[in-house]
Amino acid sequence: MKTLTVSVVTPDGPVLEDDYEMVSCKAESGELGILPGHIPLVAPLSINAVRLKRENHVDKLAVNGGFMEVRPDKVTILAQSAEKPSDIDIDRAQRAKERAERRLQSKQDDIDTLRAELALRRAINRLSVSS
């Protein structure tokens, strides 16, 4: 089975570098499935899980936006943050989710709604990937 080298990098450094048979993720334009030999592509990513398939097993990463660069033999993801399920602090993510929900429900004028919505999406993504 042919594979792609997948490299996930954040401002804090590399998160993952390994070979996979398929990469699935959510770009801003929709769902993408990348197989070896894919045409070159650059796409902005949404806050969502990146799914990495190898030998009937799927690894997940919680990715907080960023960009994906695809070449026929390599996928590079440059993200603001990316976490493996084992690195996610579930209690912290749950508290962040509750905080963001409270901010959105309060409907106060001084609340930055977009920022609270993004925080909520990040927390939900982290909780989803960790479960």
What are the tens digits of pLDDT across the range 31-60?
999 999 999 999 999 999 999 999 999 999
For residues 78 and 107, membership in a common domain is answered with no
> Is 39:3 a contact under the CB 8 Å cutoff?
no
> 49: which 2 tokens?
């899980």
> 129: which 2 tokens?
């990937």
Which domain CATH number covers 104? 1.20.5.440
Q: Return the residue matching tokens 């999406």.
A: 121
Which domain CATH number covers 60? 2.60.15.10
d(CA 80, CA 62): 11
> 102: which 2 tokens?
């409270």
- pLDDT tens column, 55-75: 999 999 999 989 999 999 999
| pTM of structure | 0.84
> Residue 111 above 70 pLDDT?
no
Could you list the residue range(s) of the whole structural domain that residue 44 is in? 4-83
> Residue 21 above 90 pLDDT?
yes
Q: SS3 of 55, please?
A: coil
